């Protein structure tokens, strides 16, 4: 087997959550910062929490407001049979 193929393993790595909770367990990273953990996850706490690191919620709200503000476009009515027949007759007349 080749030597030094596996990353270094840290038996007691400090993991910090954005809510302030701290954990310690083994990983290949020396220190970890996480955004959500079991103490602050909405599924476990029952409280609503919007996690938006890239501004996606604000972008969505702006697009939704713009869509409501713009009037809907209506399609032009389709040609009736008489319009089609007139076009065919005019093409036949020129041929």
Write down the domain spans for the chain.
Answer: 1-68
Secondary structure (DSSP) of 35-89: S--TTT-HHHH-------SSSHHHHHHHHHHHHHHSPPP-PPPPPPHHHHHHHHH
Distance between CA atoms of residues 14 and 67, nearest Å: 46
How many Cα atoms within 13 Å fall on the side-chain side of residue 50?
A: 6
- Could you tell me how far CA 53 lies from the centroid of its own chain? 11
pTM of the model: 0.41
Q: What is the per-residue pLDDT across 47-79, written as a single tens digit (0 to 9) for each? A: 776 666 677 888 888 889 888 887 777 777 766
Residue 18 is predicted with a pLDDT of 85
Fold (topology level) of 1-68: Rhinovirus 14, subunit 4 (4.10.80)
């Amino acid at each position: 087997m080749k030597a030094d193929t596996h990353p270094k393993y840290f038996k007691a790595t400090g993991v910090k959550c954005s809510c302030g909770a701290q954990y310690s367990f083994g990983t290949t990273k020396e220190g970890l910062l996480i955004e959500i953990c079991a103490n602050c996850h909405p599924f476990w706490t029952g409280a609503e929490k919007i996690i938006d690191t890239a501004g996606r919620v604000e972008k969505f709200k702006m697009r939704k407001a713009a869509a409501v503000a713009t009037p809907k476009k209506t399609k032009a009515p389709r040609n009736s049979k008489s319009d089609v027949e007139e076009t065919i007759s005019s093409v036949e007349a020129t041929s």
